[in-house]
Structure 1
Amino acid sequence: MFTGLIEEVGSLRRADRRGEAMVLTLGAKKVLENVAIGDSIAVNGVCLTVTSYERDSFTVDVMPQTYRSSNLSMLGSGSPVNLERALAANGRFGGHIVQGHVDGTASVVSVERDQNAVVFTFKADDPHMMRYVIGKGSIAIDGVSLTVTHAENGYFGVSIIPHTLGETALQHKKAGSSVNVECDILGKYVEHLLGFGTADKTEAKTFSAIDESFLSRHGYA
C-alpha cells in the first residue's frame, strides 16, 4: 500500500521491450535506501517489484496487463517518473489509500494557473472510469495523492499547490500528456458489494442487490 506522497522524481534509463512486456531500469536515490529484491515501489503510481538494483538504479518487470492499462509504455529515455516506496507499518499516513493498481489513463486537457495553485483538467480515456470520480473525492494522478475539484461529462480536474508540483513529475505535464489514474478504492468496493447479489445468477447467493425496488419494499421510497 502507498499514500500518494511522492518521495522523489527518478528517471527512465532503459526500457527493454518484449512485445507488451517490458523490463525497466530506473535511476533513483532515496527509494533505494535499505532496498531489497522483492520490495514494492510505485512508478508513476504503478506498484512494481524490484528485481535487481545497484547503487543508483533498480529494475522492474512490467507485464502486458500493466503495459496496456498504464502510461509506462509511453516513457522514453530520460523520462521523469514519480517514485514512492510501500508504506512502512510505522510510517506516517499523510495522503490517502493508494494501492498502485491503476484504473486507467487520462489525457491532460489544460494546465491553468489560479493564483497560488495550478489547475489541471483531464479527460478520462475510458469514460466508464468516471463513475468512481467525484468532486472533493481522492484520486491518484501518476501516483500523486490529490483531491478532485470537479468531475462531469468525462472530464475532471485537480488543483495543485506549488510545493507538490515542484516535487513531482507533474511539473513536466502539458496539454496532451498522458497520466495514470487510480480512483479511490472505497467507491470500487461499494459498487462491488451492492451488485454482488446479481453478479452471477448461476450460483446461490445469500445477498441481494440494494436497488430502488429493495428500498421501496423496506419503506425508503
Structure 2
Amino acid sequence: MFTGIVEELGTVAAVEDQGDAIRLGIRATTVLEDVGLGDSIAVNGCCLTVTTVDGEVWTADVMQETLDKTSLYGVRPGDRVNLERAVTADKRLGGHIVQGHVDGVGEVVSRTPSEHWEVVEISMPTALSRYLVDKGSITVDGVSLTVVEAGDDRFTISLIPETLARTTLGTRRPGDRVNLEVDVIAKYVERLLPYSGTGASDA
C-alpha cells in the first residue's frame, strides 16, 4: 500500500525489451535507502517489484498486461518518474490509501497557471467517472490529489508549487498520458450497495 506522497523523482536508466515484457532500470537514491529484493516501489503510480539493485540503479520486470494498461508503455531512458516506497505501519498517511493498481490512463487536456497554483484538466475513461466527486481523492501518476471539479469524462486538479517542483506533474503537457487510480473505498462502496438490506440484521 502507498499514500500518494512522492518521495523522489527518479530517472529511467535503461529499458530492456523482453518481447512480452520489459526490464526497467531506474536511477534513484532515497527509495533505495532500505530497499530489499522483492520490495514494492510505486513508479508513476504502478506498483512494481524490485528484482535487482546495483548502486543507484534498481530494476523491475514490467509485464505486457501492465504495459497495455498504463502509461509505462513507451517509457524511454532519461524520462523522469515519480517514486514512492510502500508505506510502513509507523508512517503518517499523508495522502490517501493508494494500492498502486492503475484503473485507467488519462490525458492532460489543459493547464491554467495562476499566481500561487496551477489548474490542470485531465481526461479519463468514462467508466471511472462514477468514482470521482468534487473534493474527493484521485491518484495521478502516483500523486495523491484532490479533485476540484469532476465531470463525465474529465476532471480538474489544482497543483501547488511543491507538487509542481517535486513530481512529474510539473512538466506534463497537454497530450501527455498519465496513470489514474480512483479511491478504492469508492469501489468497495459500489460493490456493497447491491447487497444493502440483505444482511443478518434484517432477519
Q: Give TM-score scaled by structure 1 length.
A: 0.86
Match of 1:8 in 2: 8
Match of 2:37 in 1: 37
Conserved 8 A contact 1:20-1:67 = no
Structure 1 window deviating more from structure 2 (187-196 vs 60-69): it is: 187-196
Match of 1:179 in 2: 178
The CA distance in 2 between the partners of 1:21 and 1:196, in whole Å, is 40
Match of 2:89 in 1: 89
The CA distance in 1 between the partners of 2:195 and 2:65, in whole Å, is 25
Q: State yes or no: 1:18 paired with 2:24.
A: no
Alignment of 1:47-196 (within 5 A): 47-124=47-124, 126-195=125-194
Deviation, 1:207, is 4.3
RMSD between superposed Cα atoms in Å: 1.5
Conserved 8 A contact 1:20-1:68 = no
Which is greater in Rg?
Answer: 1
Deviation, 1:63, is 1.4
Q: Number of matched residues?
A: 199
Amino acid at match of 1:100: G
Judging changes above 3 Å, is the alpha-carbon distance between structure 1 residues 20 and 137 closer, same or farther for their aligned structure 2 residues? farther
The CA distance in 2 between the partners of 1:158 and 1:181, in whole Å, is 13
Amino acid at match of 2:154: Y
The CA distance in 1 between the partners of 2:63 and 2:193, in whole Å, is 31
- Structure 2 gap segments, 5+ residues each: none
The CA distance in 2 between the partners of 1:20 and 1:40, in whole Å, is 21
Deviation, 1:129, is 1.3
Report SS of the residue matched to 1:176.
coil
Q: Give TM-score scaled by structure 2 length.
A: 0.93
The CA distance in 2 between the partners of 1:155 and 1:20, in whole Å, is 32
Q: Percent of counterpart pairs with the same letter? A: 46
Write out per-residue CA displacement over residues 131-160 of structure 1, whole angstroms, 9 at most, x where no aligned residue. Answer: 111110001100001000001131101001
Deviation, 1:164, is 1.1
Query: Of the two structures, which has the highest relative contact order with CA contacts closer than 8 Å and spacing of 6 or more?
Result: 2
